[in-house]
Amino acid sequence: MVMAIAESPTNGVHSAIGQAHQDCLEGTLWRGLKSGLPEGCSRTAPWRQAAQHRRILLLDDLAGLDLGKTPCKMQTRRYLIDDLLKDANEASCARVTPLKWWWGTEIERAWSRLREVEERMVGLVDGATLPVYAARAAQRGHAYLDYADPQLAQLDKLCAQSDPPEAELRSATAEVLRAAHAKADHANREARYLRNRLLIASVFCVVFSAAIVVAQAAAPTLNFVVPHDDWHASAWGCLVVVMLFGAVGALFTAIPAVSRIPTNVGPFNLPLQQGLLKIAFGPLVAVVGLALLGNGIGPMKPPQTVPDLLLMAVIFGAGQHAVTRYVDKRAGQILTAAAPTTASNSTNRNAASTA
């Protein structure tokens, strides 16, 4: 159909479009313009949808390139479509095993291919379209790179010129894109590493809490938390209730961390892992705090009633924030680095970082 339109003398515009894309009609380009996600993935992880959306946009940009009769550029476009974007599509549709989820294998694979396509496309666009790509690269550079970055400064200088040298502008655009992508990838890797460490710490806290309960049940005469006379259940039952109220106290401090989730974060949910660590760590702090009070260590008196005991467990559970706030600070730094800033506050952020 496209060839018929191209041969019609009354359709000059369609003829030009058909001629420009004739070399791509038999490849995967036009079949790839729709999402490669199966129908069962409509409710899948957001990163898959984001990767597919970006892949489709890149396919559309590649389809709109006017490469003329340059075989080298046509071959490069074919490589970007049939190899890199195809691999990105396969990665975004691949089954993620627990090990791949832990290391971020598929998401790293998908976005590395997409970003490589963006960088290589700078060498394919014509001179008239190049300033548009340079402006996009400069915007991304200001979002991720330092204000005094020499590559970004060179690109800004070239963009400010009315007629910059094409070769220099093309090279500076590609270099800024590579630097911005490297900065974003590094921030996402740091977020994933911190997420994994928080998960390990949370698992250890849960294991230690379970071990304390088992030890209390195995040795009824050895009380980690001394039950009062008005407590008529078992000693390990008292310990479980204390841990539960300690987790409630920790939940109070987890709510602010979860509520501060930025709207433009990466794919690794650090605030959720922060909250889980606080809730898992709260019961241990509650048990240790009440054990110290029961042995007369500290300025406060031991609780005299069950309500006082549970209230102190909540207070000690919330007190775990004194330890986990260092984790909150590190997570905030990573989230700030991973989330791109807008043009209005990019200068303020970089000025603050150099102050």
- Sorted by sequence, the CB contacts under 8 Å of residue 347 that are 6+ apart come out as 142, 147
User: Domain boundaries in the chain?
Assistant: 2-189, 191-354
Mean pLDDT of 232-248: 85
Q: Residue 108 burial by CB count (10 A; 0-12/13-18/19+): exposed, middle or buried?
A: middle
- Kindly indicate the confidence band of residue 64, based on its pLDDT and cuts at 50, 70 and 90: confident
Span 2-53, pLDDT tens digits: 333 333 333 433 343 343 444 444 444 444 445 566 655 555 677 888 899 9
Contact 254, 279 (CB under 8 A): yes
Nearest 5 degrees, angle CA 129-CA 132-CA 135? 150
Residue 341 per-residue DSSP state: P
For residues 53 and 270, what is the distance between their CA atoms, to the nearest angstrom?
24
Torsion, CA 192, CA 195, CA 201, CA 203, rounded to 10: -100
pTM above 0.75, yes or no: no
Helices 166-218 and 130-144 cross at an angle (nearest 10°) of 40
Q: For the chain, report the end-to-end CA distance as a whole number of angstroms.
A: 62
pLDDT of residue 337 exceeding 90: no
Q: State the CB neighbour count (10 A cutoff) for residue 170.
A: 20
Contact 286, 313 (CB under 8 A): yes
Span 85-99, pLDDT tens digits: 999 999 998 888 889
Confidence (pLDDT) at 165 = 93
Confidence (pLDDT) at 177 = 95
For residues 6 and 13, what is the distance between their CA atoms, to the nearest angstrom?
9
Nearest 5 degrees, angle CA 7-CA 9-CA 12? 90
For the four alpha carbons of 285, 256, 47 and 193, in that order, the dihedral sign comes to negative
